[in-house]
Amino acid sequence: MRRLLTGATAVALGVTGTLVMASSGNATSDQEIRYVVAYAEGSSAASARAAVKAAGGEIVSENTDIGVATVTAGEDFAAAANASGALVGAAQDRIVGANTPDAASKVRKQKASKVETEFRGHKGKGPKPPKPKGKTEPLSALQWDMAQIDAPAANKTERGKGVRVGILDTGVDGSHPDIAPNFDARLSRNFTTDIPVDANGDTVDGPCEEEADGSCFDAADVDENGHGTHVASTIASPVNGVGISGVAPQADIVNLRAGQDSGYFFLQPSVDALTYAGRHGIDVVNMSYYIDPWLFNCTSHPADSPEDQAEQATIITAMQRALDFARSRGVTLVAAAGNQAIDYTKPQTDASSPDFASEPGEAAYVRDLLDPKTCVSMPTEGKGVIAVSATGPSERKSYYSSYGNGFVDVAAPGGDAYDSADGTRDYAATILAAYPYDLAVAEGAIDPATGEVLVPWAVADCSSGECSYYQYLQGTSMASPHAAGVAALIVGKYGKHDLSGKTLAPAKVEKILRSTATKKACPEPADYTYVRHLPDGSTVTSTHTCEGGKAPNGFYGSGIVDAKAAIGKR
């Protein structure tokens, strides 16, 4: 699962009523840094703004709904801001005046977990799609995931019409034939700006001049990563005689882009996307990522500097405020449990944070024995968020999926390429969903001259005369949208009509989602060993311990989501 301003003036993000924009003055030197600050509870906006100014910062945008501001300042700002009683702290974002790398050095740093992209680099002809049976979508036979949650049966009576689903991700390809009919271009927004390089000079999103429009600002119907398009397709690809169908094939897809092309997700775009969702009648949002640069945000870990502790406290505070704001306005919050294959309820070691260089020389370091009571991954562990673990075709918890009794709320199909009798890789055991054409060409997945699929992890459907493309991915990023899709069906079935279509209280949606999930007991023995025979001939084993009873438990939470049961008794 999982990377803003290059000029001197902030650019409006299209959030009516929530962002107050201001000039960033002459914040253009290499010493100027972008920060996100959270105002302290009980402080007035005026006193917080004064504290920012006193610390040497200048506000370039302000989210007045949740008391969060984006600030440009010098490198000494964080320490001064953290010492102010009017501010929670400052989360450093990036150097504003970083140089653009040479075009020849553009390398996409895919931050998405390896389990989602491990098929890359494997060549060979793609599989030939089976012929459809009956009145189904052309590639429906490849969607074992939909059968697992009984979505086809549910769709006979409920398809999510009138429900808006927000995709907080890397973007959505609104032109894809299996997304376009349900894509809401009017409401969709892009809350990010491409980042050419990080503070160490390493390529992030790549040179802006290589973009189609030569700028760092992507349109709200663009996805140059593919992750968000895949997620959106799983939730709401329509029944239109093309490719596949989603869980809620008549729900509206609203692109609320919060992720970079490279797969990083930063604080400011996420909080702005969530507050936008709350203000614009979004019913469900899917969040298949964590907020960078910290996998786990700790407020008092001794290995962290005071500045880093304050930064992580700021991330926790700002994200929780945004989550609370959205949920209080009717947004059901769904998130991926994570692909680290760890128990989130136990002490852990984090050697991956910080994963983004926001200041020169910054690099990840080891933090041992993280206390789950004081260290949290956001937004997955945020209050009011439905955390989703992943399953494979056999319904076992996927080998990569994180887990934990009391952490996981429900499980859903996320794919498991090694969920077979002999533990060898099988692409078909992962999740098939939409693949942007331009990205497929760039990644060498299809021949642009002939349209032929060149890799075994992609599939084409040309039955309608126009080819559409799909890719296999696996991860809790793929599990979460299945649960979000079922949540959309619940809103469609039980929600009341309002100005935006349908609405249903998030607490009610969660109650139905969990109570109707198919209970799945821990394996016996509870210490379950995964065996994977990798393509290079090596064998990898790992053991995960499932705690709890039949339901809830650490692998499946309340159970595997069930679309049919969620909209009515069998």
pLDDT tens digits, one per residue of 126-162: 556 666 566 689 999 999 999 999 999 999 999 999 9
Q: Let me know whether 31 and 143 are in one domain.
A: no
What count of Cα atoms within 13 Å lies in the side-chain half-sphere of residue 565? 16
In terms of domains, do 77 and 150 share one?
Answer: no
DSSP code of 398?
A: P
Query: Any idea what DSSP says for residue 312?
Result: H
In a domain, 519, yes or no: yes
**Spatial distance between the Cα atoms of 287 and 90, rounded to a whole number of angstroms:** 23
Amino acid identity of residue 483, one-letter, is: A
- Based on the domain organization, do 431 and 540 belong to the same domain? yes
- Per-residue confidence (pLDDT) for residue 469, from 0 to 100: 98
Residue 36 maps to a domain: yes
Prior bond of 354 cis (ω within 30°): yes
The CATH number given to whatever domain includes residue 406 is 3.40.50.200
Q: Are 291 and 267 in contact (CB under 8 A)?
A: yes
- Read off the pLDDT of residues 382-438 as tens digits, 9 standing for 90 and up: 999 999 999 999 999 999 999 999 999 999 999 999 998 889 999 999 999 999 999
User: Rounded to an integer, what is the distance from CA 462 to the centroid of its chain?
Assistant: 29
- Whether 445 is covered by a domain: the verdict is yes
In a domain, 484, yes or no: yes
Mode of pairing for the β-strands spanning 297-298 and 375-376: antiparallel
Last residue of a domain, one of 77, 95, 113: 95
Instruction: With beta carbons less than 8 A apart as the criterion, state whether 458 and 447 touch.
Output: no
Question: Is residue 109 located within the same domain as residue 143?
Answer: yes
Question: CA dist 216 to 123, 265, 313, 358, Å?
Answer: 32, 16, 30, 18
Q: How confident is the model at residue 4 (pLDDT cuts 50, 70, 90)?
A: very low
Distance of alpha carbon 115 from the chain centroid: 15
User: 254 lies in which domain range?
Assistant: 103-212+224-266+334-341+384-566
pLDDT of 148: 98
Give the integer Cα–Cα distance in Å for 111 and 298: 21
Give the residue, 493 or 125, on which the prediction is more confident: 493
Give residue for tokens 């008549």.
250
**Neighbour tally for 362: CB within 10 Å:** 17
Residue 289 and residue 68 in contact, taking contact as beta carbons nearer than 8 Å: no
pLDDT tens readout for residues 505-558: 999 999 999 999 999 999 999 999 999 999 999 999 999 999 998 899 999 999
pLDDT > 70? residue 175: yes
Total-model pTM: 0.91
Residue 294 lies in a domain: no
Between 209 and 246, the higher pLDDT residue: 246
Domain match, 56 and 205 both: no
Least confident range from 277-281, 304-308, 376-380, 497-501: namely: 497-501
The whole-number pLDDT of residue 130 equals 61
Band (pLDDT 50/70/90 cuts) for residue 31 is low
Question: Does residue 372 sit within a domain?
Answer: no
Contacts of 313 (CB under 8 A, 6+ apart): 88, 89, 297, 299
Which of residues 95, 114, 129 is at a domain's end? Answer: 95
Q: Identify whether residues 86 and 185 lie together within a single domain.
A: no
Residue 358, pLDDT score: 83
Tell me what the mean pLDDT of segment 316-344 comes to. Answer: 98
Helices 306-328, 267-279: axis angle to 10 degrees equals: 10
Catalytic sites, residue numbers = 169, 227, 477
CATH code (residue 40): 3.30.70.80
82 and 203 housed in the same domain? no
CA distance to 116, 338, 431, 473, 538, per residue, from 113 (Å): 6, 9, 15, 11, 20
Distance CA(139)–CA(441), nearest Å, equals: 21
Provide the domain count of the chain.
2
Give a yes or no: residue 329 inside a domain. no
Whole-number pLDDT of residue 397: 98
Q: What pLDDT does residue 316 have?
A: 97
Look at residues 95, 130, 160 and tell me which one is the last residue of a structural domain.
95
- Residues 79, 200: one domain? no
Which residues, listed in sequence order, are joined to residue 160 by a DSSP beta bridge?
none
- Domain identity same for 107 and 89: no
406/531 same-domain check: yes
Cα 222 from chain centre: 16
Same domain, 175 and 203: yes
Helix (H) / strand (E) element for 115: namely helix 114-117
How do beta strands 252-257 and 164-168 pair?
Answer: parallel
Instruction: Kindly tell me if the per-residue pLDDT of 342 is higher than 60.
Output: yes
pLDDT of 70-122, one tens digit each?
A: 999 998 999 999 999 999 999 987 544 322 222 222 223 334 444 554 555 45
| Mode of pairing for the β-strands spanning 252-257 and 189-190 | parallel
Domain presence at residue 305 = no
Res. 47 pLDDT band, cuts 50 70 90: very high
pLDDT at residue 134, as a whole number: 60
Report the percent of the chain where pLDDT is more than 70. 87
Q: Taking the mean position of all CA atoms in its chain, how far away is CA 212?
A: 24
Same domain, 51 and 112: no
